């Protein structure tokens, strides 16, 4: 996913949705921050950032923060890109563990929830839920989530239930949007309930996958499977 981006330096983030940036041209702008979480380990004042610019005259803020550089690696911070990246990878057969499935439908309702993808073949269904990972722990492993997430807990519980059905398979897919992690593990210290739920899901037949990406100031390239410790 290549983009035409504008570089600058982060001045500050505030009210979750806003960042002030000094562009390389010297102009100061306020940009939209599309990641409403804590962004632990993936944001810092004085860090280099890459912004996209909208041509929509109705937008309140023309710029959106897409990537940030921590001094050693670029980090993708726009959570809205995760499903598009995974959709492209699924269509291209780049996720080998599920490459035998056909077309993947997006945003599929299951009970009170929506899961990101679903494919059907030979009277079988396969559900796949995507989570974007940006948190780097002190042990050098990327982790999810970066805050207690009841929504994520509900999704992993739903996948666990679906995996019990004879005609259904389920995959929990973690898309790592930074290039400096040794592998993936759930963030037990932050959300113990989610970590326990993910382990139960794996024991119950849910396939757990984590893939990295190559992130640069010009965009994101889908990468390869990385080690997982549950």
Domain with 55 in it: what CATH number?
Answer: 2.40.50.580
Task: Return the H-helix or E-strand segment holding 156.
Answer: helix 150-163
Neighbours of 113 (CB within 10 A): 13
Quick one: 70 and 182 in the same domain?
Answer: no
Residues of the chain with pLDDT under 70: 1-3
**Count: domains in the chain:** 2
Question: Domain limits at 123?
Answer: 79-225
- Report yes or no on 13 lying in a domain: yes
Predicted local distance difference test score (pLDDT) of residue 3 = 64
Predicted local distance difference test score (pLDDT) of residue 1 = 44
Task: Return the H-helix or E-strand segment holding 19.
Answer: strand 18-23
- Retrieve residue 8's tokens: 């600058």
- Report yes or no on 156 lying in a domain: yes
Quick one: 197 and 123 in the same domain?
Answer: yes
Quick one: 125 and 148 in the same domain?
Answer: yes
- Report yes or no on 230 lying in a domain: no
Predicted local distance difference test score (pLDDT) of residue 210 = 98
């Amino acid at each position: 996913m290549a983009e035409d981006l504008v570089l600058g330096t982060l001045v500050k983030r505030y009210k979750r949705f806003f960042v002030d940036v000094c562009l390389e041209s010297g102009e100061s702008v306020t940009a939209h921050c599309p990641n409403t979480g804590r962004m632990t380990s993936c944001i810092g004042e004085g860090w280099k950032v890459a912004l996209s610019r909208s041509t929509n005259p109705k937008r309140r803020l023309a710029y959106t923060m897409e990537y940030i550089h921590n001094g050693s690696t670029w980090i993708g911070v726009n959570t809205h890109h995760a499903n598009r990246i995974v959709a492209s990878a699924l269509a291209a057969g780049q996720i080998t563990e599920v490459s035998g499935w056909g077309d993947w439908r997006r945003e599929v309702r299951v009970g009170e929830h929506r899961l990101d993808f679903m494919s059907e073949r030979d009277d079988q269904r396969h559900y796949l839920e995507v989570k974007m990972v940006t948190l780097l722990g002190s042990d050098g492993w990327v982790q999810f989530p970066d805050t207690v997430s009841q929504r994520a807990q509900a999704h992993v519980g739903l996948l666990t239930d679906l995996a019990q059905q004879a005609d259904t398979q389920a995959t929990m897919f973690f898309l790592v949007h930074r290039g400096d992690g040794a592998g993936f593990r759930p963030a037990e210290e932050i959300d113990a309930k989610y970590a326990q739920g993910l382990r139960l899901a794996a024991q119950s037949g849910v396939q757990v996958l984590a893939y990295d990406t190559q992130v640069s100031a010009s965009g994101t390239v889908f990468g390869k499977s990385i080690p997982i410790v549950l």
